[in-house]
Amino acid sequence: MYIVKANYKEDDCVNILTTALKEIINNKTVIVCIGTDRCIGDSLGPIVGTMLKNSDYKYPVYGTLESPIHALNIYEALSEIKKKHPDGLFLALDACLGDKENIGTIQIRKGPILPGKGVGKTLPQTGDFSIVAIVDQIDEDIKFTFNNIRLNFIVEMSEIIATSIILAT
């Protein structure tokens, strides 16, 4: 279920996302950014995490370029995060695949992220709320896509998401 969605190119994208996030983020919020810096298309989460950390964001942030949360460490990372924040309100963030016409859309949803779903992986879902950014189209013939994504596109979307999270607190 979408709370809100906006294309990153829309003039009021930051305002749309910030308004929705103000209803979600509180003093129990824990941000969990999922992805890897080894694939441009999947680097959105760690880039946002790094931007938040570099801004001295006041709530806990996990998943950065230095210490990403990805398929190889997600079980252990989520277990540790939940131990540290047993009463946390988890806001999970990830890049995802979608329909071609939705590329560039940032969605805020009530409910968890299903990491790896778009590339045929089954990984633990996480998040009471989630932010997903559609970075490429689903290609049923090629399970691992993210093949032709520009870093600038990912950084622009990351800046909008990080700015919206910061402004919402």
Q: Count the neighbouring beta carbons within 10 Å of the beta carbon of residue 11.
A: 7
Q: What is the pLDDT at residue 123? A: 85
- Which residues form the domain of 86? 2-167
Note the pLDDT of residue 141. 60
Query: What's the rounded Cα separation, in Å, for the pair 157 and 162?
Result: 9
Q: How close are the terminal C-alpha atoms of the chain, in Å?
A: 23
Intervals of the chain under pLDDT 50: none
Task: Say what the pLDDT of residue 114 is.
Answer: 85
Supply the pLDDT for residue 2.
Answer: 72
CA angle 47, 38, 112 (to 5 degrees): 55
Q: What is the pLDDT of residue 66?
A: 97
CATH of the domain at 64: 3.40.50.1450
* Total domains in the fold of the chain: 1
Whole-model pTM? 0.93
